[in-house]
Amino acid sequence: MPYHQSRILYYKLAASGDDVRLISFPKAGHGTDFAMLSDNATRGGAYEETARGGHTTPPRPATPT
């Protein structure tokens, strides 16, 4: 899914009060190759945002596994 569409979906779900988690991989590019999760260089630039009850958190560094 393109990044801007992920953002739109994240904000719509957050505004409706749903619990939402968005993890972005700025260095990963676009595609369906999940090998990026085992590439330390790609995972190193990841960040996470969450929303609960309509309240969002600012982006923070994440190391997904």
Judged by DSSP in three states, 47 sits in: strand
What percent of the chain has a predicted confidence (pLDDT) above 90?
31
pLDDT in tens, 2-47: 788 988 999 999 999 989 999 888 777 666 566 666 777 677 788 8
* DSSP character string of 45-60: T-EEEEEETTEE---E
50 within a domain of the structure (yes/no) = yes
What is the number of domains present in the chain?
1
Task: Tell me which residue range forms the domain holding 34.
Answer: 3-58
16 within a domain of the structure (yes/no) = yes
pLDDT for res 44: 74
Distance CA 15, CA 12 (A): 5
pLDDT for res 1: 73
pTM of structure:
0.72
51 within a domain of the structure (yes/no) = yes
64 within a domain of the structure (yes/no) = no
Distance CA 11, CA 4 (A): 11
65 within a domain of the structure (yes/no) = no
